[in-house]
Structure 1
């Protein structure tokens, strides 16, 4: 067993924001344990129960929450009248801070995966005094370089699958913002238009999930409501490059240079260039990057073991 057994929350509730969002949250572990917060990926995947298993429930008090627009939070990004203008990285950072204050936490460990690592780094550089340690897997920073890699560069590796995605917006030339163009289709009020775009984007996600062999269908995309909300949020955040300037994270690393950190990436993770994270860690003296040779973006047993080892070490 690599991860801890699944435990049930000892507390849960809803955070109401001033702009009409209801953020579902839960707390697991020991009420007096070391504080931690989980930032799920996607964007739009939701805080699934398996996230709880990265922490020793005897030593941690962990806050998990569904980010705006997904999971048990409301309104959903899949709603016909969804307003994505109130779902940005800055809004999510404010939600993290509101949850920290709600639970009377001074500082906490931040654990994030994939998109959650971008959000975690953005939160840390904005509020370094509130972060005790950082643990990120599938680490990315969602810069334009990385988003272009996810689309145009990977399109050279999987030209057949990419041609299907590109066929939705043939007017967008290489170098253009493909994710924004697809997001516009996803927000079209015609169900035939937005569901077709959602299916196409989720097909592309499935293609990138494995380096070789045929794509493996993800059960969660079989739900058209989930697929639509997920695709809307992903293309919304990616199309705006995480709502951060190009140096929004890399230009502020001095703020987090004294925060211990563990980052994990699979060598076979083709969803983003590994070099971006490697260069980032080179500038953080207390950060360690583990490159797992035989695992991809989703990670597996080795990645899980490294994450659990990190949370265990930081609990001492």
Structure 2
């Protein structure tokens, strides 16, 4: 079983101004001359942390992480202004240009898989390969499954806590009801809603209970950004056209990809990864037994570390023992 590489510190940090009022936090670690890889975090609204750098061999990779608009160390915090999928795709391209990178590997999980696909389809000539985890295609049935009815039948006890901030008469459209509170002026109601929304995701992210994952999702600062930004995206169908990502797979069919997905992923069911793999002849699908959604689960972590080593071996033409 492969585990994460030891913790490392960035060798460079950047504050990159994009469309006002947003300033993005970007950092680089690993080898400045290595194979560029962009870690695309989930949410939207999740942000990066020290763990984000640890899936990659720092002697082989130039590791770029960034916090998307409104979250993590990017400012302003939890801002929804000028915050759409098109803006985030543009931001990724701006980062690439700012860092002087010609092409890079995209490594994205959950919403990060969505955004990686959207960017790759917009700029296929700038992508070497993709490593995706917990595939999320942001289709209406996926949003309904997790936020309206579906996952609720598997976790009825946790579901009651998710329902708690919403009065019964508004529960016919829970995303709309949450959006009303998360964008309202009542700060107490806003924070109550944010924690309930984020905790629902944290408690269902792993096959076995994981207090560290739940605590991370429950953190007040993180929960506010994640809940507000996720709800903003989801009430707008992620600012994507219907079935856009599968529809446009022909644009990146030539690119290699490794898809890692937990068999028992309740947040993003395995069907998503299966359909993506079926539409992508150049992809490999790794179905992880005894795993749910989170990259923190041992089997998924192992598969992601191996996938990064495999992609480095292919692109750098390394002997197997060096990758």
Q: Deviations over 1:28-55 (max 9, x none)?
A: 1111111111101122221111111111
Partner in structure 1 of residue 51 of structure 2: 50
Unaligned runs of 5+ residues in structure 2 are 314-323
Q: Does 1:159 align with 2:160?
A: no
Partner in structure 1 of residue 202 of structure 2: 206
Partner in structure 1 of residue 300 of structure 2: 303
Partner in structure 2 of residue 261 of structure 1: 257
* Corresponding residue to 1:192 among 183, 188, 191: 188
Q: Deviations over 1:280-302 (max 9, x none)?
A: 11111110111111011114222
* Corresponding residue to 2:246 among 250, 255, 258: 250
How far residue 129 of structure 1 moved from its aligned partner, in angstroms, is 1.0
| Alpha-carbon distance between aligned partners in 2 of 1:206 and 1:11, rounded to the nearest angstrom | 31
| Alpha-carbon distance between aligned partners in 2 of 1:228 and 1:11, rounded to the nearest angstrom | 28
Q: Does 1:64 align with 2:65?
A: yes
Partner in structure 2 of residue 125 of structure 1: 121
Partner in structure 2 of residue 143 of structure 1: 139
TM-score calculated relative to the size of structure 2: 0.89
| Alpha-carbon distance between aligned partners in 2 of 1:205 and 1:189, rounded to the nearest angstrom | 24
How far residue 60 of structure 1 moved from its aligned partner, in angstroms, is 1.0
How far residue 115 of structure 1 moved from its aligned partner, in angstroms, is 1.1
Larger deviation: 181-190 or 297-306? 297-306
Partner in structure 2 of residue 283 of structure 1: 279
Partner in structure 2 of residue 95 of structure 1: 91
Unaligned runs of 5+ residues in structure 1 are none
Q: Deviations over 1:256-289 (max 9, x none)?
A: 1000000111111111221122011111111011
Q: Deviations over 1:75-103 (max 9, x none)?
A: 000xxxx4x13111111111100000001
Q: Does 1:170 align with 2:171?
A: no
| Alpha-carbon distance between aligned partners in 2 of 1:301 and 1:18, rounded to the nearest angstrom | 39
**Compared CA separation, residues 134 and 185, structure 1 to 2 (3 A):** same
Partner SS, residue 175 of structure 2: helix
| Alpha-carbon distance between aligned partners in 2 of 1:130 and 1:227, rounded to the nearest angstrom | 33
| Alpha-carbon distance between aligned partners in 2 of 1:221 and 1:108, rounded to the nearest angstrom | 29
Match runs of 1:102-117 below 5 Å:
102-117=98-113
Q: Does 1:314 align with 2:311?
A: yes
How far residue 182 of structure 1 moved from its aligned partner, in angstroms, is 0.3
How far residue 226 of structure 1 moved from its aligned partner, in angstroms, is 2.6
Alpha-carbon contact 2:183-2:228 (below 8 Å) kept = yes
| Alpha-carbon distance between aligned partners in 1 of 2:222 and 2:76, rounded to the nearest angstrom | 13
Q: Deviations over 1:106-163 (max 9, x none)?
A: 1100001111111111111111111110001122112111111112111233334434
How far residue 195 of structure 1 moved from its aligned partner, in angstroms, is 1.5
RMSD over aligned Cα atoms? 2.0
Alpha-carbon contact 1:179-1:236 (below 8 Å) kept = no
Partner SS, residue 28 of structure 2: strand
